[in-house]
Amino acid sequence: MTFQITGLDPAPFAHLHALSDTQLETGGMRRVVVTEKPAAPCRVTLDDAEIGESVILLNYAHQPADTPYHQQGPIFIRESSSRFARAGAIPPALARRTLSLRGFDASHMMVEADLTEGADAAAMIERFFANPEVAYIHAHYARRGCFAALIER
């Protein structure tokens, strides 16, 4: 079974990199200069930002459905238009971390959940998608709990 992991669309975030630090802070965001790698996994490129690179840290509603599973949380965004989207591939930022995978049905209710090492995630993704109720999967970084990426059939 084929799956695709897709980074967030960079267009809604592109203007943020031109804002001043004061403007970002007024909107509840921060510019962060990366001091170690891996430490700032971008949700567009699905790879870690480089040391010395500036990223924007902001709150993002990754599960906007009006259900008990409605969620939002912090994400990093690099200044990049290179969106990760490849079938059957685990992107670098996910591959190097422990993941919490959460399978949701068409009503946005969680029907599957488990932990896996990112490098081994493909097997669990395929297992989740073997369940016909699973419409999509959210990957989260297990250590901090932050949303990582959307996984679709």
Query: Among residues 26, 24, 77, 72, which one has the least CA distance to residue 47?
Result: 77
Q: Where are the alpha helices (DSSP H) in the chain?
A: 21-26, 92-95, 121-130
pLDDT score recorded for residue 139: 98
pLDDT score recorded for residue 1: 64
Portion of the chain with pLDDT greater than 70, in percent: 99
- What is the tens place of the pLDDT at every residue in 107-144? 999 999 999 999 999 999 999 999 999 999 999 999 99
Among 7-11, 60-64, 78-82, 123-127, which is the least confidently predicted range?
78-82
- What is the tens place of the pLDDT at every residue in 14-38? 999 999 999 999 999 999 999 999 9
Distance CA 101, CA 114 (A): 6
Q: Give the distance, in angstroms, between the CA of residue 96 and the centroid of all CA atoms in the same chain.
A: 14
Q: Is 49 exposed, middle or buried (0-12, 13-18, 19+ CB in 10 A)?
A: buried
The DSSP call for residue 15 is: G
Angle CA(19)–CA(58)–CA(69) in degrees, nearest 5?
Answer: 150
Q: What is the mean pLDDT of the chain?
A: 96
pLDDT score recorded for residue 80: 84
Answer whether residue 65 shows pLDDT above 80: yes
Burial profile 109-136: b = 16 or more Cβ within 10 angstroms, e = fewer: eeebeeebebeebbebbebbbeeeebbb
- The model's pTM is 0.95
